[in-house]
Amino acid sequence: MVPRTLPIVPMDPFAALFAHAPPRARTFFTGTLCKTVQYPEVGHLHFLKGGELTLVQNGQSDLRFDEPTLLFFPRGQIHSFVVNPERGADLVCATVELGSAEGNPIGQGLPGLVVLPLASHPALKPICGLILDEAFSGQGGRQEALDRLVDYLLILIVRHVVASGAVATGALAGLADPRLAKALTAIHEAPKKSWTLDDLARIAGMSRTRFAEHFRTRVGQTPIDYLTVWRMTVASQLLARGKPVKSVALQVGYQSAAAFSRVFSRVTGKPPRNSQGVMAME
């Protein structure tokens, strides 16, 4: 019998990143905006379906839009929309959280504002069509369906921005580099492992010195500093699920809850607590 050859599955550099720091959206407005509105300093995604609006930001030139366009603010940025009150602007708006606030590896290096006119990005039209259908359908489960569709749209936008080369530094910039992507994926998939610089350089297929220099230039941190921040990102997700501190410490590579708590406090500026507010060390 001839042995069956298993297909080679290509490495997905985003899999572990999205597993531990998934982008999340919460739709809060669908309809026609007929007055000036200011949005707070949190991540936002706006989809202009029709009409006209002017985007106003402090210290920036005003931007006018009059065709179907996605406006993505990866990080907190206060901004306002000014519209013609007679026509208004047809919008779907959502708040956005790009993974954990601690380190936020997805948001690192992304532009402060991503503008994507649908006419220039036809690959986004199908999902945007589904979002519009759901937004104005009034059917049961509408909120949940909308939020999940926008979650998917966020992943498509992140893919597009990385592929376009618009991300200069940060984890996403590193993942766009074939050699660094191997080391970053190893870190993302196994935060518990006691990685050394030599280990990671070997995975990347580079010399220790060259790897350390290239990683810092591309990602903006040393490999070990990135590992530490990533561990705290994973830890934050586990704590949010109610896991006790001692268990979380072990899952991210710390044998001592006290040592983990010191690092967590240093990186995040607050002590580790689970979703019940418990700082359980036992």
Q: What is the pLDDT of residues 191-207, one digit of tens each?
A: 999 999 999 999 999 99
pTM for the whole thing?
A: 0.80
206 DSSP 8-state letter: S
Over residues 21-49, the mean pLDDT reads 93
Q: Taking 80 as the threshold, does the pLDDT of residue 277 lie above it?
A: no
- Domains for the chain: give ranges and CATH numbers: 15-163 (2.60.120), 177-268 (1.10.10.60)
What whole-number distance in Å separates Cα of residue 185 and Cα of residue 17? Answer: 8
pLDDT band at 9 (very low <50, low <70, confident <90, very high): very low
Over residues 86-101, the mean pLDDT reads 86
Task: Give, in degrees to the nearest 5, the angle at Cα 230 between 226 and 233.
Answer: 145
What whole-number distance in Å separates Cα of residue 10 and Cα of residue 236? Answer: 29
What whole-number distance in Å separates Cα of residue 271 and Cα of residue 266? Answer: 9
pLDDT band at 99 (very low <50, low <70, confident <90, very high): low
Over residues 97-101, the mean pLDDT reads 68
The residues near 141 (Cβ < 8 Å, ≥ 6 apart) are: none
The residues near 251 (Cβ < 8 Å, ≥ 6 apart) are: 191, 192, 234, 235, 238, 243
Residue with tokens 């970053």: 184
Q: What is the pLDDT of residues 151-208, one digit of tens each?
A: 999 989 988 888 888 888 888 899 889 999 999 999 999 999 999 999 999 999 999 9
